[in-house]
Amino acid sequence: MRYHIWTVGCQMNVADSQKLAAGLDRLGWAEVPAPEDADLVVLNTCAIRDHAEQRAIGKLGTLKKLRKRGGEFTIAVMGCMVGLKTDDLQRRFPYVDVFARPQQFEPILQAVGYDDLGGEFWPATFTTPDSPTAYVPIVHGCDKFCTYCIVPYRRGRERSRTIDDVRAEVEHLAARGVREVTLLGQTVEAYGHDLDDHPDLGDLLGALHDIDGIARFRFLTSYPKDMTERIIDAVAGLPKVCEYFNIPVQSGDDAVLDRMRRGYHIELYREKVDLIRRKMPGAAITTDVIVGFCGETDAEFQQTYDLLAEIEFDKVHVAAYSPRPGTIAYRTLADDVPQEVKMARLHAVEQLEAGISARINARLLGRDVEVLVEGQKPSPDGGMTWFGRTRQNKLVHFAGEAQLGSLTTVRIERATAWSLAGVAVVAGARVDVASPLPF
């Protein structure tokens, strides 16, 4: 039996798809690149913005046509498009065989004939890595209920995995060639508050740090209010943990933050950034911003723009507000910023950030940086170029000697806002990669 999984959305979705794939592999299924060759087609969807939903709807249209032409496959829709009630989805897409909420794999397996796999099946099924880098979810769901956001309605309340469970998964990945692990949570510093003894993210990082073979740890996504000095100290004190933080600010204006119910004001946000930069002067900090949120005035947007210019983030993910049915903002606030104003603000942020990122990256010209080698791809001159990331999560393309999964020193020769390029100066395998990696 053959399966095909199509994935959009965040890193958590990528991790969920990998877990489903690992489960199907264990049952003897094989993955195929084209849906028409599969017996089971899974669309792992995202609902964070309308655009993401439209992509899945477009894909469903293609599958419907394939079916009409005689394709015989089970269609499963999983992920954040699927809420508690599926009547509406069933009405709109009657040809879909099964709808499954994020991480609810059982209905999909039941649809293809597996009735009882036992309670231990999913927790014990760790992903099969295909790269030296891997994602490991540590806390599922979100309790924050920001007014614009659909995630808590679709991924449920926060649930942390135990330290032992996470450690077992990281050991499994390390034994299969993974060198860098990114720990995932919607608000990753919420980790542990629902567990006995209330370990925090710092405790977890400390408990994973000695795992042989893993050279680097990262974590995503940070919530400014939950990020404590204790966690920042743990990052600063643990050599394998990278100095890289993604801390969404969403807006630079306190009144907008209140309407978003983010639970903090800009003063607190600034304090956290200052603390990180004091303790780790080389740290990279990235952020997420929503422009054109309900009632956002020119002056309120200007506050965001000024904050971005002041903090100088390494990268900004900017999105125009997209009303999501079922959220608090959808029910109680008017989506009253015209589309062209949203787009003008989005472009203003992009333009500002392109200049800032280019300046930050240009500081690395002529410097030697540590790159974890993730693979090779064709270069414009017809040859192959290596690529990987720095500890600060900057993408680097480089020429010269290297080995997949190794930590290689690269001298930076070119820098743009989006990436760096250079040449390997010490092709070092400081991590033991004596045996070839299995991918």
Residues that bind ligand SF4 (CB under 6 A): 142, 144-146, 149, 151-152, 186-187, 223
3-state helix/strand/coil string of the chain: CEEEEEECCCHHHHHHHHHHHHHHHHCCCEECCCHHHCCEEEEEECCCCHHHHHHHHHHHHHHHHHHHCCCCCEEEEEECCCCCCCHHHHHHCCCCCEEECCCCCHHHHHHCCCCCCCCCCCCCCCCCCCCCEEEEEEEECCCCCCCCCCHHHHHCCCEECCHHHHHHHHHHHHHCCCCEEEEEECCHHHCCCCCCCCCCHHHHHHHHCCCCCCCEEEEECCCCCCCCHHHHHHHHHCCCECCEEECCCECCCHHHHHHHCCCCCHHHHHHHHHHHHHHCCCCEEEEEEEECCCCCCHHHHHHHHHHHHHHCCCEEEEEECCCCCCCHHHHHCCCCCCHHHHHHHHHHHHHHHHHHHHHHHHCCCCCEEEEEEEEEEECCCCCEEEEEECCCCCEEEEECCCCCCCEEEEEEEEECCCCEEEEEEECCCCCCCCCCCCC
**Whose Cβ is closer to ligand SF4: residue 2's or residue 261's?**
261
Question: Smallest distance, Å, CB 144 to ligand SF4?
Answer: 4
- What does the binding site for ligand SAM look like in residue numbers (CB under 6 A)? 10, 48-49, 148-149, 151, 186-187, 221, 223, 248, 250, 288, 290, 319, 321-322, 324
Question: Smallest distance, Å, CB 264 to ligand SF4?
Answer: 11
Q: Which two tokens stand for residue 235?
A: 């990052």
Q: Which of ligand SF4, ligand SAM, none does residue 288 bind to, with CB < 5 to 8 Å depending on kind? A: ligand SAM
**Whose Cβ is closer to ligand SF4: residue 145's or residue 418's?**
145
Q: Which of ligand SF4, ligand SAM, none does residue 214 bind to, with CB < 5 to 8 Å depending on kind? A: none
Rounded Cα distance between 83 and 186, Å, is: 18
**Whose Cβ is closer to ligand SF4: residue 66's or residue 150's?**
150
**Whose Cβ is closer to ligand SAM: residue 148's or residue 269's?**
148
Q: Which of ligand SF4, ligand SAM, none does residue 319 bind to, with CB < 5 to 8 Å depending on kind? A: ligand SAM
Question: Smallest distance, Å, CB 247 to ligand SF4?
Answer: 11
**Whose Cβ is closer to ligand SF4: residue 248's or residue 388's?**
248
Q: Which of ligand SF4, ligand SAM, none does residue 406 bind to, with CB < 5 to 8 Å depending on kind? A: none
Question: Smallest distance, Å, CB 287 to ligand SAM?
Answer: 8
Alpha-carbon Rg of the chain, whole angstroms? 22
Q: Report in angstroms the alpha-carbon separations of 222 from 11, 92, 246.
A: 14, 36, 6
Q: Which of ligand SAM, ligand SF4, none does residue 50 bind to, with CB < 5 to 8 Å depending on kind? A: none
Q: Which of ligand SF4, ligand SAM, none does residue 152 bind to, with CB < 5 to 8 Å depending on kind? A: ligand SF4
Question: Smallest distance, Å, CB 286 to ligand SF4?
Answer: 15
Q: Which of ligand SF4, ligand SAM, none does residue 322 bind to, with CB < 5 to 8 Å depending on kind? A: ligand SAM
Q: Which of ligand SAM, ligand SF4, none does residue 321 bind to, with CB < 5 to 8 Å depending on kind? A: ligand SAM
Question: Smallest distance, Å, CB 207 to ligand SF4?
Answer: 25
**Whose Cβ is closer to ligand SF4: residue 264's or residue 387's?**
264
**Whose Cβ is closer to ligand SAM: residue 78's or residue 433's?**
78
Q: Which of ligand SF4, ligand SAM, none does residue 48 bind to, with CB < 5 to 8 Å depending on kind? A: ligand SAM
Question: Smallest distance, Å, CB 327 to ligand SF4?
Answer: 9
Rounded Cα distance between 372 and 388, Å, is: 5
Question: Smallest distance, Å, CB 12 to ligand SAM?
Answer: 8
**Whose Cβ is closer to ligand SAM: residue 350's or residue 432's?**
350
